[in-house]
């Protein structure tokens, strides 16, 4: 069994510890305002599938950045993206890239490939890339069925994508396959199960409703999926009551559990 280093809450840098970005009040308010139980009624929504997600993403593409920008700034997600992508080296693949919210955090000289299975999401990327990065290849592609050869990339990245596909473990396996075994890194910024039972219960209660609007399930067992896929985790930081996961991993292998 793959043992994952125990997660810790060390700050990533100035501005992520002891301020509004990491504030419990801000985190709680964000979740509470997303769904008011008094407004929810009717039968439970039908299970989300990749086909339905594609429809949701295509429909939301033009307003996606506008909807998320304020929340990401307030909760420090934008700063986490910046710190995570400092680890990107060499030839870089980002899967489930959406509207390209990470584009501004890559050096302009990065040799970058972005994939997403929503053509309309990638259309938003094409409108940004002229001013943000010089060498960027866009491909419509499902993250669970990558067409690249084994070990093709030095760095493989996903941010908030494992929540938005039918088989996230398969996606992690594909990310691992196309990443170089020697020196390659897999970078993940995800949201999932909380460390706190009370919040985990809230997320479970509204997971299906949230998925209908945004196409994502915000209560998945991120570390469990990584373990199933067989990645070797080097770093885990968790924020926002344990719901935000900042992870640096590498393909294959095993690691001993570490206390921090």
Residue 15 is assigned to a structural domain of this protein:
no
The whole-number pLDDT of residue 27 equals 47
Residue 98 is assigned to a structural domain of this protein:
yes
Residue 159 is assigned to a structural domain of this protein:
yes
Q: Indicate the average pLDDT of the chain.
A: 81
Give the model confidence (pLDDT) of 162-204 as tens digits.
998 999 999 999 999 999 999 999 999 999 999 999 999 999 8
**Is pLDDT at 96 greater than 70 in this prediction?**
yes
* Number of structural domains in the chain: 1
Contact 154, 184 (CB under 8 A): yes
The whole-number pLDDT of residue 119 equals 93
The whole-number pLDDT of residue 62 equals 80
Single out the residue of 216, 103, 206 nearest to residue 160, CA to CA: 216
Q: Which residue has the higher pLDDT, 94 or 30?
A: 94
CA distance 205 to 4: 28
Sign (positive/negative) of CA torsion 194, 195, 199, 201? Answer: positive
**Is pLDDT at 127 greater than 70 in this prediction?**
yes
Model confidence band, residue 42 (pLDDT cutoffs 50, 70, 90): low
Least confident of 5-9, 154-158, 162-166, 234-238: 5-9
Contact 129, 139 (CB under 8 A): no
Contact 55, 49 (CB under 8 A): no
Q: What length is written for the chain?
A: 260
Residue 7 is assigned to a structural domain of this protein:
no
Q: Which residue has the higher pLDDT, 229 or 30?
A: 229
* Mode of pairing for the β-strands spanning 244-250 and 232-239: antiparallel
Sign (positive/negative) of CA torsion 107, 113, 118, 122? Answer: positive
Least confident of 11-20, 85-94, 97-106, 197-206: 11-20
The whole-number pLDDT of residue 65 equals 77
Q: What does the pLDDT average to over 136-140? A: 94
DSSP 48-98: P-HHHHHHHHHHHHHHHHHHHHHHHHHHTHHHHHHHHHTT--SEEEESS-T
Residue 89 is assigned to a structural domain of this protein:
yes
The whole-number pLDDT of residue 141 equals 97
* Range among 46-50, 91-95, 96-100 rated most confident: 91-95
The whole-number pLDDT of residue 44 equals 59
Residue 27 is assigned to a structural domain of this protein:
yes
The whole-number pLDDT of residue 130 equals 65
Task: Note if the pTM is more than 0.75.
Answer: yes
Residue 170 is assigned to a structural domain of this protein:
yes
CATH number for the domain that contains residue 197: 3.40.50.150
User: Residue 166, class by beta-carbon neighbours within 10 Å (0-12 exposed, 13-18 middle, 19+ buried)?
Assistant: middle
- Range of the structural domain that residue 209 is part of: 20-250
CA 172 centroid distance within chain: 12
CA distance 124 to 109: 21
């Amino acid at each position: 069994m793959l043992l994952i280093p125990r997660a810790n809450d060390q700050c990533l840098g100035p501005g992520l510890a002891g301020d509004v970005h990491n504030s419990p009040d801000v985190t709680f308010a964000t979740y509470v305002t997303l769904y008011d139980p008094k407004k929810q009624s009717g039968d439970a929504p039908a299970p989300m599938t990749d086909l339905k997600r594609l429809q949701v993403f295509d429909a939301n593409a033009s307003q996606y950045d506008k909807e998320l920008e304020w929340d990401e700034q307030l909760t420090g997600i934008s700063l986490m993206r910046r710190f995570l992508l400092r680890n990107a080296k060499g030839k870089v693949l980002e899967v489930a890239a959406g509207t390209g919210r990470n584009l501004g955090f890559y050096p302009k000289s990065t040799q970058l490939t972005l994939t997403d299975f929503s053509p309309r999401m990638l259309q938003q990327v094409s409108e940004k890339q002229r001013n943000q990065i010089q060498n960027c290849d866009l491909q419509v592609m499902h993250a669970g069925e990558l067409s690249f050869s084994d070990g093709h990339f030095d760095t493989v990245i996903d941010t908030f994508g494992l929540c938005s596909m039918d088989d996230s473990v398969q996606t992690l396996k594909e990310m691992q396959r196309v990443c170089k075994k020697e020196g390659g890194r897999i970078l993940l910024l995800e949201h999932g199960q909380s460390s706190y039972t009370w919040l985990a219960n809230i997320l479970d209660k509204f997971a299906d409703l949230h998925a209908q609007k945004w196409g994502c399930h915000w209560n998945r067992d991120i570390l469990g999926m990584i373990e199933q896929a067989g990645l070797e985790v080097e770093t885990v930081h968790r924020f926002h009551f344990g719901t935000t996961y900042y992870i640096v991993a590498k393909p294959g292998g095993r690691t001993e559990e570490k206390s921090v």
